Amino acid sequence: MTKRIYFDYNATTPLSEEVLAFYTDTLKEYANASSLHEDGRRSAELIKKARSQVASLIHAPDAADILFTSGGSESNNTVFNTMIAAGEKRNNKFIAVSAIEHPCVLESAKKLQNCGFTVEFLPVDCDGIIDDAAYRAALEKKPLLVSIMAANNEIGTIQDIPFLAERAHKAGALFHTDMVQACGKIPVDVAAWDVDYATVSAHKIYGPKGIGALYVKKGAPIEPLIRGGHQEHGLRAGTYNVPAIAAFGYASELALQNLSSYASLTGELRRLLRDGLLERIPDIKINGHAERVLPNTLDVSFPGAEGEAILLHLDLLGFAASTGSACASGSLEPSHVLMATGMGAELAHGSIRFSLGMGSTKEDVQALLDMLPPVIDKLRKMSTLSGAEAVRA
């Protein structure tokens, strides 16, 4: 196969042709947006427009509620860093986060533990939905902050954020949601959902890498993570990356315009891929919720085949996908998301995430359906042989 086929849109999206052209042109705007001269004012206007475009994508009531950052990780870190001062002020050092959050949230929560906070990692059911009894019990402890992602990056499960946020507020808690994977794929509405903080990233919606945003509801506490200049009302220092911010805004505008067609396209392709895999490969497991799932995300476990081996074979055949497993410090760790759903380590190791996007086609799905079954069959036979040799030894 000579053509590379991309099934890893949840990891990052390419710049769309429209955004690429806009971004390239905007690179000519080199002036510092904080400068008072005409060139600086022109850059400032680009930022102002982008702020409005991002606000429209997530239905923020005021563009001033949008704080530009370097990406989702910084936005999430900013929220958790804010809790240090907020916890002191409110005399409350208890927070709750879901067990299937992105590592930048989980590591930020663990950092707060080092600052004397108690952190409860909320369990999920087998589909990745927040366990209701555990959530109620956590809220009875009156947490300072609850952080639950809108949609999971691995299995695609969508949480009922309006319901969860309402209950958190009744318990007196602030509510944060990481919407990085949800934006541009499903409708999101920070005003209707009544969240205090929401995280967005450009490179998941066909914008550039290295730029993101944090929505901060009026009245919610916020502390700068990066200090120095007066940018972003003193809440995020650093010379503005004007071209990236402007391109983020344009990508947000396009994402909002294309939301329905994007969901329809990827949803149909996901269905074709899911049904084709179930038909052609025996004994597989589809992970995540059957209905409350991102239209573009399909996570599949292949018992008897190791995930890394599957990816290597697919890569050689021209396919790009991903696995929840990660190689850290020389040891292979299973996906914390799949483990949180109650899946065993062996099965979690044999799981692959296929994520579709604007460039995906039926032909791409068909090519994968033709190529993957022999790969799984080969790996399962190798695994069986290896097991038999181990028994003989």
Question: Measured between alpha carbons, how far is 175 from 190 in angstroms, rounded to an integer?
Answer: 11
**Does pLDDT of 331 surpass 60?**
no
Average pLDDT across the chain, whole number: 94
**Per-residue pLDDT at 63:** 98
| pLDDT band of 324, cuts 50, 70, 90 | low
Model confidence over 12-27: pLDDT tens digits? 999 999 999 999 999 9
Contact status, residue 50 vs residue 242, Cβ threshold 8 Å: no
Question: Measured between alpha carbons, how far is 310 from 292 in angstroms, rounded to an integer?
Answer: 27
Q: Specify the fold of 17-257.
A: Aspartate Aminotransferase; domain 2 (3.40.640)
What's domain 5-13+259-382's architecture? Answer: Alpha-Beta Complex (3.90)
Q: Is the pTM of this model over 0.85?
A: yes
Average pLDDT over residues 103-124: 97
Contact status, residue 197 vs residue 215, Cβ threshold 8 Å: yes
Look at strands 94-98 and 145-147 and give their pairing: parallel
**Does pLDDT of 156 surpass 60?**
yes
Residue 327 known to be catalytic: yes
Residue with tokens 């509620």: 65
Report the share of the chain in percent with pLDDT over 70. 95
Look at strands 319-320 and 5-6 and give their pairing: parallel
- Please give the structure tokens belonging to residue 314: 């697919």
For 355, phi and psi rounded to 5 degrees? -125, 130
b or e along 86-106 (b: 16 or more beta carbons within 10 Å of the residue's beta carbon)?
Answer: bbeeeebbbbbbbbbbbebbb
Average pLDDT over residues 31-50: 92
| pLDDT band of 330, cuts 50, 70, 90 | very low
Model confidence over 166-216: pLDDT tens digits? 999 999 999 999 999 999 999 999 999 999 999 999 999 999 999 999 999
Active-site option among 104, 115, 126, 327: 327
Question: Measured between alpha carbons, how far is 112 from 131 in angstroms, rounded to an integer?
Answer: 23
Domain ranges (residues) in the chain: 5-13+259-382, 17-257
**Per-residue pLDDT at 128:** 98
